[in-house]
Amino acid sequence: MFGPPGSGKGTQAVLLAEALKAPHISTGDIFRQNVKEGTVLGKQVKAIMDAGQLVPDELVNGIVADRLAQPDCSKGFILDGYPRTVRQAEMLDGLLGRLRKAKVVVNLLVDYNIIISRIAARRQCPVCGSSYNLVSNPSKVDGVCDKDGTALIQREDDKEEVMRKRFDAYNEQTLPVVDFFRAGEYRLVEVTGGNGAPEDLTAKILEQLTIG
């Protein structure tokens, strides 16, 4: 699952995973969980993430290789937020070649201006991780988590200056990965997102997947 930061690719990945009954593997979620638990990995990546930069390839590749070796991945999986550099794509390509899996890339296209206004409105519960949006998905009581009543916060990397850095990283390091896929044996499904209900977009993606 491919798309710029804040494009809603995480939401689509979760919905697709439910529909296709495949495990959803988000490297961003794995890192955030480790930061929250204060593990060795979490301590290594926290400052990098807070600055909107990318975690080093060797670290990410090792984590993904371990995760894909788990039994629940044997019938397929959805990767969200990985690969993000050509070096990561090369590692994954080697792994998928050995697994003899069909390779599909869903590329979510969303206008950067839409993303920036949406991200500015994004809020999260620091305790349970529930996500809200001041405009499209507000909590019942302003500024407070529906599930546990905790005060909502803005993710450090959702702040505007950090957001800009994440776009720079995406343009410089991640967009070349799409060309890598184009040149290889990948089926590329491109969909435009950014407005409308997430479920409608998922339906559109599933439709394209079955047409092919």
Residues involved in catalysis: 9, 84, 122, 155, 166
**Residues in the chain, total:** 212
Instruction: Judge contact between 171 and 163, C-beta under 8 A.
Output: no
Chain position carrying tokens 């905790």: 150
Applying the rule CB under 6 A, the residues between 66 and 95 that interact with ligand ADP are: 81-82, 84, 88
* Residue 120 engages ligand ADP in binding (rule: CB under 6 A): no
How many Å apart are CA 158 and CA 78, to the nearest integer?
24
123 binds ligand ADP (CB under 6 A): no
- Tell me the Cα Rg of the chain: 17
Contacting residue, 1, 2, 6, 41, with ligand ADP by CB under 6 A = 6
State the DSSP code for 195: S
110 near ligand ADP (CB under 6 A): no
Read off the tokens for 121.
Answer: 């409105």
Near ligand ADP by CB under 6 A, which window of 54-62, 93-101, 139-147, 181-189?
54-62
Relative to beta strand 122-124, strand 131-133 is antiparallel
In the list 48, 116, 120, 121, the residue contacting ligand ADP (rule: CB under 6 A) is 48
- Position closest to ligand ADP via CB: 28
Q: Is 79 helix (H, G, I), strand (E, B) or coil?
A: strand
Contact positions vs ligand ADP (CB under 6 A): 5-6, 27-28, 31, 48-49, 52-55, 60, 81-82, 84, 88, 157, 166
